[in-house]
Amino acid sequence: MIKTILKRIGLDYFLHNRINEYDHLIKTALDKGFEIMPHSQFFDLVKKNEIGSRKILMIRQDIDSDPSYCREWLRIEKKYKIHTSYYFRLCTIDIPIMKEVLAYGSDCGYHYEELASYAKRHKIKSAEEIQQHFDEIRKEFKHNLSALETQLGSKIQYIASHGDFANRKLKMPNHTFVNRDVLDDNGLVFEAYDAEFLDNYSINIMDAGGPGFYNGPISQLDALDQYQIVHLLLHPKNWRSSFYWNTYENSKRFFEGLKY
């Protein structure tokens, strides 16, 4: 227990900036003949049945915290002239940074969590009960998305579900309330957990805390030697420590857990 706590403190508050490792990852992928692309480009290839034997690396950045780290990633991406997909939560909206992402030509989407937020607010703890409130959740989602688009001055076309402790309690991910009608009603092209993505990956690897900094049986670099289509899911907190954001998120999770 003590060892786990000390490890968490070390990662949250003393993790060095790993941006050089990101640079190495991108360079290695390009040297191995991978095309690096955002979700939107891959989605188009799938729709047109144009994947073939192409080696593809997709990078999805979920901005759960520390939105300023996007500029670190963007600097490397501009260096190699590649594009990725960024998804921002309501609590990490940073309009100048989001506009930089859009101006560069990368995907800028909404990392939504209305189902979990609604469940916590109303202390709903069963999947059966939360399903009875899908209409209200969809209205809340529509309102939040529209407000974000107004702030940004641009249409959001892509969304990706965020994961929360309430989802684990409910045994239901946030994207459960999203269907094709919801996407069409809000002018959205896709949800990042749509089957069009998941059914066409060779492997999905999510980053994690040290020492390996990845979840699963294989590292990001090793996957480039073994798979044709590699999808990486990254989060700023696993690439550098942020005292403010990690303290904010840890405190928020603690007090929300008590109330829930």
Question: What confidence tier does 193 reach under pLDDT thresholds 50, 70, 90?
Answer: very high
Q: What is the pLDDT of residue 2?
A: 63
Provide the token pair at 260. 């829930």
Taking only the tens place, the pLDDT of each residue in 201-244 is 999 999 998 788 999 899 999 999 999 999 999 999 999 999 99
Taking only the tens place, the pLDDT of each residue in 29-39 is 999 999 999 99
The distance of Cα 69 from the centroid of its chain, to the nearest Å, equals: 14
Task: Delineate the domains of the chain, giving CATH numbers in brackets.
Answer: 2-259 (3.20.20)
Taking only the tens place, the pLDDT of each residue in 98-140 is 999 999 999 999 999 999 999 999 999 999 999 999 999 999 9
Global pTM value:
0.96
As a whole number, the mean pLDDT across the chain is 95
Cβ atoms of residues 101 and 70 within 8 Å: yes
